[in-house]
Amino acid sequence: MGDDMDITGAASGAVDAFLSETNLYLAPDPVIMNNHGLEPRTAYEDECISKESDPVRLEIVRERILAGVNESFEMLENMGAAPGAKWGDCVSAVYTESGDLSLASSGGVVIFCNLVQYPIKFIRKYWSKDKTVGINEGDVFIVNDARYGQAHNTDQSMMMPVFHEGKIVAWAGATVHEGENGAIEPGGMPSLAEQIWDEGLKMSPFKVAENYTLRRDLVTFLQNSVREPKLQYADMKVKMYVCRRIETRIHEAIAEYGVEAVVAALRMNLEDTDAEVRRRLKEWPDGTVRHSWWTDGTLRENVQIKINLELTKKGDELTFDYRGSSPEFTNRSNNSLDITVKGMLAQLFLTFIWPDIPRNQGVLAPVNFIFDNPSVLKPGFGTPSAQSMMTVFTAWSAGQVATMKFLYSNPHKYTRVLAPWFNMINTFLFGGLTQHGEMVGNVCADINGMGGGALADRDGEHGCAPIFATMSDIGEQEFIEEEVPFIQIVSKKMMKDNQGFGRQRGGMGYQMVLAMRDSDAFGFMLTAMGAKFPNIPGLFGGYGCPTYPLARIRGVNVFEILKNDPASFRYSIEELMNERPFPDAQYSTHPMTLGYTLAQRGELYMIAQGTGGGFGDPLERAPADVMRDMDEGLISDDVAWRIYRVVYNKETLHVDEAATAKARDEARRERIAKSKPFDAFCKEWVKDKPSGKVPYFGSWDDKTMVHAGDPDKLHPAGQVVPPVVMAHPLQVKIDKLEAELAECRKSGNR
């Protein structure tokens, strides 16, 4: 299905009419899903704009509606029960009658509302004419299936048409990262999903409320399908009333300024943004920038997955060409839909490049995208994508690096050039019975504490914001512990030496050491890349982030230790793992890809948030800044010397400037001594194919051909036959053990 399933086919003649009327079911419509640009102006919009074209008046109308949207967002944050709502992973917005995102709330996650354009367009196209559905005033629709337009299935959006005199003039929408959705693992982001049916609720856009009232039968069905019926119910109500508040404000604006002014303001907001983005793009030099990066797993096995980006700017348009990226994994959940890539890149522009541009989808209108179809960034219809962050965040970071290279030499900037922001969800998902007897499944707010990238003259901010939102929150443990049966014993302590080194260093991440305390059935899972290969690079000589494993200590009840032998407890992952203070415990490290695992009381799970990339050569870092990091406990003597080459008194941290200059000079000479002509370097460094030590997915040196795990076999990109199907990791283990057993038997027989 997917792109092949073109159900819209232009009907002409009896056969076409028959085919267009006789559908088994209405899958996502490629005509809708493949268009991230603006819908053409409708005749009514034309008429409104001809009557209301004074930009000053339209600006007043726009601000008036935006105030209403912001009001609704405040409601959403206050009323929402999901951690995602409480800690900022939500948004509300207004759409044009055609479904284009025109006004997003000033706070919240842009990608969420950017993607809601698709289900609205689906509803308009299909349900408006369908006698069994229809669109009436007071109707509210819901969606969570990413393939119809969501970032992933754990998000839920509700949409309400805004009528004026019997005609739809706009749409209101609200989205929350709800978490639990009845998937194969709790929390809504299952890494074990091998099929789309393992991903939990698959709500195509459907009407869930009429006359502003939720239909209890449908609500019950949805509650019955998830682990958190309370959350499912409460947040549906919240989203519906948020939409209703927006509707009220639009009605008031219509009453005051007239419907033409409102419709014209919503439309012109898009066109003005499109025009301004084109003007700004013209300021960039024409050219192409390339950047490739890799992720190190599928969440089930260690592999190397390439994200390949060629970013071309020509005139007033920009083209993100992701061809040559990895093929899709047909039975893994790490694939990302192309709409998710696009939505994330809208966030890149609206937060990291042009933060002054209005938050609407006009920002992407002058941007083109090219993907291999299918590929890991544009999977087929039946391919899971619940863990799209595993690849889309890498695609986003590749975009960040590439755009920063363009911006560096651009004389006019609208904010600063910076090294990559940390990009991975280094946090725990959890699920099970709480101390209050409630079944829950969700994610920790630490997802919002990604480290910031360094700037040319300033270090990055520690654990600051996720790449997908501003002003979201890492939460307060005292509130969180009230509702879930685990505690963070080490909650916020910087992760020493885990730094994106550079002339300016990246903002660092912090450690979390947690243990389940008060439940008979509760578990954790982890879904992050970057245990073997860094998630982000540095910029202009700066280092990328380090790698981050999961560390576990089993066979111990830390609560007994804290009570009876508190002195033996250590407050860092480094000390706990190196000193091994609990004699009978088992210590282990793993990739950050733990499938849902029931926790024993008091066993320790330990991870760290990530650091942003460094900017510039570490040998140019001011020794005083290195000493400040030392003084703040951020780095060790080893790093101060090995990376930064600073000579100082270890007691007083007094820098020996002359000795430092000399040491750095020597380091530079060592570099020169190791250097070689480009051709010689290539001869030694460039290989014809992947090493084969780890299965490799994606192009090597020709983006039209990709590897699908086998270093010796290439496939035309987008035409990998047979498609990539990964063996079950347990089966792999069993096969390996059986092979060993067979070998042993064979040797024994001999």
Partner 1 sequence: MRRVSVDIGGTFTDCSLVWDDRYVEAKSLTTHQNLALGFNASLKIAYEQLGLTLEEVMREVDSVRYATTLGTNALIERRGPRVGLLVTAGFEAMVPLSRGRGYGEGLPDRQRRDLPMAQRPEPLVPVQMIVGVRERVAETGEILMPVDAEDVRTQVRKLVDNGVQAFVVSLVNAVVQPEHELLVEEIIREEFPEQLLGSAPIVLSHQVGGRKGEYARTSSAILDAFLHNAMYHGLSTLELNLRDNGYRKPMLVIHNSGGMAQLNSTDALQTIHSGPVAGINASEHLAVEADLGNVVCTDMGGTSFDIGLVVKGGVKFYDFNPVIGRWLVNIPMVHLVTLGAGGGSIARFDRLRRAVAVGPESAGSDPGPACYNRGGRYPTVTDADLALGYLLADRYADGSIPLNERRATRALEKEVGEPMGTDALGAAKLIRQKIDNDMANGIAQELRVRGYEPRHFTILAYGGNGPLHACGIANVLGVSRVMVPPFSSIFSAIGAGNMDQLHFHERSLYLSLYDSNTRKIFDDFDSFNALVEELEQKGRDDLMRQGVAPAAIKHRLELDMRYGNQLAQTAVVVSKNRLETADDLMEVLAAFSKDYGRRYGEGSQAPEAGIRINTIRVATYSSMSTLKFADILPKKADLAPAPAATQHKECHFVGHDGAMKTAFHDLADLSFGSVVEAPAVVISPSTTYLVEPGWRLKIGRHGAALFERAE
Which of 305, 418, 599, 606 is close enough to bind partner 1 by CB under 8 A?
418
Identify which of residues 192 and 242 has a Cβ nearer to partner 1 in the complex: 242
Q: Which residue has the tokens 């829950």?
A: 440
Q: Is residue 641 part of the contact set for partner 1 (CB under 8 A)?
A: no
The answer to whether 247 and 72 are in contact (CB under 8 A) is no
Residues touching partner 1, count (CB under 8 A): 101
Identify residues 266-305 at the interface with partner 1 (CB under 8 A). 272-273, 275-276
Kindly state the smallest distance separating residue 86's Cβ from partner 1, in Å: 4
* 515 token code pair: 């243990």
Q: How far apart are CA 170 and CA 191, in angstroms?
A: 37
- CA angle in degrees (0–180, nearest 5) for 309-280-96: 90
Kindly state the smallest distance separating residue 29's Cβ from partner 1, in Å: 32
Identify which of residues 145 and 235 has a Cβ nearer to partner 1 in the complex: 235
Which of 184, 264, 474, 553 is close enough to bind partner 1 by CB under 8 A?
474
- Which span (1-9, 189-197, 374-382, 433-441) binds partner 1, by CB under 8 A? 433-441
Q: Is residue 156 part of the contact set for partner 1 (CB under 8 A)?
A: no
Identify which of residues 350 and 553 has a Cβ nearer to partner 1 in the complex: 350
Identify residues 131-150 at the interface with partner 1 (CB under 8 A). none
Which of 319, 470, 547, 597 is close enough to bind partner 1 by CB under 8 A?
470
Q: Is residue 84 part of the contact set for partner 1 (CB under 8 A)?
A: no
Q: How far apart are CA 625 and CA 647, in angstroms?
A: 13
Identify which of residues 312 and 477 has a Cβ nearer to partner 1 in the complex: 477
Rg of the chain's alpha carbons, rounded to an integer? 27
134: left (phi over 0), alpha (psi -120 to 50) or beta: left
Kindly state the smallest distance separating residue 212's Cβ from partner 1, in Å: 7
Q: Is 146 helix (H, G, I), strand (E, B) or coil?
A: helix
Identify residues 189-218 at the interface with partner 1 (CB under 8 A). 212-213
Q: What is the 3-state secondary structure (H, E, C) of 538-576?
A: CECCCCCCCCCCEEEEECCCHHHHHHHCHHHCCCCHHHH
Q: Is residue 405 part of the contact set for partner 1 (CB under 8 A)?
A: no
Q: How far apart are CA 106 and CA 63, in angstroms?
A: 11
Q: Is residue 158 part of the contact set for partner 1 (CB under 8 A)?
A: no
Residue 394 burial (10 A CB sphere; 0-12, 13-18, 19+): buried
Identify residues 560-619 at the interface with partner 1 (CB under 8 A). 562-563, 566-567, 569, 571
Which of 448, 499, 557, 593 is close enough to bind partner 1 by CB under 8 A?
448
Which of 9, 287, 315, 355 is close enough to bind partner 1 by CB under 8 A?
355
* 443 token code pair: 């994610």
Element spanning 511, H or E: strand 510-516
Which of 94, 192, 309, 350 is close enough to bind partner 1 by CB under 8 A?
350
Identify which of residues 201 and 627 has a Cβ nearer to partner 1 in the complex: 627
CA dist 381 → 13, 37, 165, 375, 384 (Å): 29, 22, 39, 11, 8
* 43 token code pair: 């005749």
Which of 27, 33, 48, 85 is close enough to bind partner 1 by CB under 8 A?
85
Kindly state the smallest distance separating residue 147's Cβ from partner 1, in Å: 29
Which of 5, 79, 168, 667 is close enough to bind partner 1 by CB under 8 A?
79
Q: Is residue 411 part of the contact set for partner 1 (CB under 8 A)?
A: no
Residue 512, Cα to own-chain centre: how many angstroms?
A: 21
Which of 121, 147, 152, 249 is close enough to bind partner 1 by CB under 8 A?
249
The answer to whether 694 and 707 are in contact (CB under 8 A) is no
Identify which of residues 77 and 296 has a Cβ nearer to partner 1 in the complex: 77
Identify which of residues 632 and 666 has a Cβ nearer to partner 1 in the complex: 632
Identify residues 483-542 at the interface with partner 1 (CB under 8 A). 483, 487-494, 510, 513, 517
* 740 token code pair: 């060993």
DSSP string, 344-397: HHHHIIIIII-TTS-SSGGGGTTEEEE--SSBTTB--TTS--TTTHHHHHHHHH
The answer to whether 308 and 325 are in contact (CB under 8 A) is yes
- Which span (59-67, 305-313, 377-385, 728-736) binds partner 1, by CB under 8 A? 59-67
Look up residue 714 and give its amino acid.
Answer: L
